[in-house]
Amino acid sequence: MRALVQRVSEASVSVDGAMIGQIGPGLMVLVCAMQGDDESRARALADKLSRLRIFRDDEGRMNRALADTGGAALVVSQFTLAADTSRGNRPGFSAAAPPETGELLYNAFADRLSELGHETARGRFGAEMQVALVNDGPVTIWLEN
C-alpha cells in the first residue's frame, strides 16, 4: 500500500459538484493498493498513519500524532500513486492492484482508521473527484509498506 499524506487545516472532496466528504484540521490521505497487497497491509498502513507524529506540540516541533490531536482524516483512492515513469513520457499503472482489490483495500484502510477512533471522511472509489485542501505547513509525507 502507498499513501501520500498531507497535514491540512481543512480538506474536502466533491463528485459531480456535490461535496461528499469534508474535514477540518487533520490529514488528507491519497491511498493506493498495489499488486500483492492484502487487508493486513491496509490495516498496518492505517495503524502507521495513526501514529505518525507530524503535528506540532506546544514547542512547535512535529511530535504529535493524529490520535493525540483529535484530528480527522479524509481518505481518497488514488491509483495514480502506482505510476511508473521509468520509460517514456506516459506513466504506466500496472503495479496498481486490480480495481476490485483496490476498492476492498481502500475500504479496509479507511475502516481501520475509523476503528482507531478517528473521524474519517471518504471520497468515492473509482469516481472522478475534485479535491480541495489547505496544506498546513506545508507538510507532505510519502508512506509505503
Query: How far apart, in whole angstroms, are the C-alpha atoms of residue 76 and residue 110?
Result: 9
Written as nine digits, the cell of 108 is 479496509
80 belongs to the catalytic site? yes
Active-site residue identified among 80, 93, 130, 140: 80
Beta carbons within 8 Å of 101's beta carbon, 6+ residues apart: 33, 37
Active-site residue identified among 22, 35, 69, 79: 79
Active-site residue identified among 22, 55, 69, 78: 78
Q: Are strands 18-23 and 2-15 parallel, antiparallel or unpaired?
A: antiparallel
140 belongs to the catalytic site? no
79 belongs to the catalytic site? yes
Residues taking part in catalysis: 78-80
